Structure 1
Amino acid sequence: MPQVVCYPDNKSVDLESGQTILDGLLNGDIPITNVCGGQAYCSTCRVMLLEGIENCTDATQSEIALAKKLDFPFHVRLACQTKVLQGDVKVRRLVNDDQDIDIVDHQFSSGTTGNKKAVTLLVAKIRGATNFDEINFPYDTFYTMSRYFQCLHKIVHQYGGVINNYMDHLAIATFGINHESNSAAQAVWAGLEMLKSQEELNHFLGQLSYQPLNLTIGLHFAEVVLVAADPQRLDLIIPVGSAVSLSQQIEASNVRAKTSILMSESVYAQVQSQVILGRKGNITVGDQDIKVFEPVGMTGDPPVIEQVTAAESKSLLGRVSTFMDRFSGKKRR
């Protein structure tokens, strides 16, 4: 009789012939979550197969569809769909409490999967403004920075990016969350447009006797883990990984290079057929030399991005609401 060892409980149960891992764990009084009652709808009974994956049945069509939607790695399976044919297996429950269920719900609605995804990061910073609020009246600071952030948000959104984080005078945007094929080109176009917009804004601010803004931008293409940060904001997706730090260091290197925008070699490799280059050189990050390039223009037409309408956003929220309503009456184990 096959045996399943389940973590973090560190308990083992015997499986009867034809029994799923979910049924076996429930019969063994192991509190594995199963919101949809084993119908392969909710994915809350997901387990990580630590040992013995070769002893399990292949994924069902329902499991394949859900695993594809959530981009599960091969060793994450639905306990409600997985049977053990022979030999023993070791699994780890991945949804352990109500907070984990909330994470799953947010995963469905935001599209984040927990796997790495290749994106282009754009870091923008207003430099020479550490005492900006000290040399300006509060309203001057409010007005100037509001105009800047408004322009920044408009341009990033126009080219298919998402602003993930603001911190004082620094902003981080991610391109490729929804439009993967040309995220590097999108980010370069956006960065150049931001510099152009900043010059126009400085001219306008000068007419009002405001101090000009000095904008510097860093671009880097790499894999990150996308994390949904706020259940109340489906658009707030945070990139996590060493690539974020490297992007910030590329942005900071503009000071030494006396440039306004620099991109990494990974970005250049994807846009080299259409980018107009200025200077190029190396920066030192830790014990590595990183090649950087200064884009001064792009040839051809900018990428056309299909924007999500309010109606489509409402439809997404409606689907999430339906998902929650469907299982709200189910007992959470």
Structure 2
Amino acid sequence: ANGTSTTQECLTSFFRAKQTSLKESEIMKIKDLQVEWICQSIRPFSIVEDNGLRRLIQECVSIDDRYENVNVDQVLRDADVTAAHISKLAEKHRARISEELLKPLQNDAVTFCPYMWSDPVYQVSYLGITATFVNDQFEFRSYDLCCSPFEEEDKTVESIFAVSIRFFRLRLLELLESIFVLESIHFAATFLHPRYRYLRKCSNAQINACKSYVRRHLKEISERENLKHVLLTRESEQTSDQNGAPEPPLKKKKRFSEEYKPGDIGDEYGETEDEVDKYLSMRIDPELVVDNPLVFWKFHQKNLPLLSKLARMIHCIPATTATVE
């Protein structure tokens, strides 16, 4: 209420770490093991100052303090287990970063920065993308999203620029696909724009799912139109009877439920399938296609009546959740 923020302290923060004086022989033993490890595994000397290594060792010491004389094999896992766990931990962090990026993306508070750097030892150039943003707590954050070797033989500026644009476009597409989940209605909205009706960048599975979604909704529209026609016909007949109009010729009587059996709408559903195929086979001059797809559907509402109704239903949904965006 007063604008100050509070953070919950860990219980261990109220206690000082136990200060232990090791014997000179124990210190020498640790030094020997460090040097043997670095020399045998050809590791840099600075690895012993790595924060991750120190946190790992400190956690092992804490576990041993709780359980006493723990075998190292019970704590540290082998290479295969560690390698297998990388993908699980990576997915966990990707999900966290994706969730953390959602609100900044909605508020246009994200910057994607491409960069290129070279490894002086191996003489390899790398391309990468960094995302910088300000979260809802007004904290500046930065994440390296990806990094890939630049293996093109042509190292000219023009080549680097062309490859970089292609690389960044693909990486950003992967990032957006990991953040946003596209559903059938999104593909249907794209399909119902005459400029993108062939869904060229989509997979066969996505295209087939989109067509099934469209045809299912066309069937529902056809059923509603059929029901509406039946009700209007009955209402008209009742009005004619009340006005004393001559009775129409006798028709074969049907039970009420028979009018709504699937057999009565089978032909209608066949027509809906024809509308999809007809729409895909139409020759449309690309010069006449405008950004607003509703212009097209207004013009073709007579020869594609069901698809035009579906286009009105889907394209009435706003692209954003707020009218001010």
TM-score bucket of the superposed structures, by smaller chain: under 0.3
Q: Larger C-alpha radius of gyration, 1 or 2?
A: 2
TM-score, length of structure 2 as denominator length: 0.25
- Considering fraction of residues, name the structure with more strand: 1
- Considering fraction of residues, name the structure with more helix: 2
TM-score, length of structure 1 as denominator length: 0.24
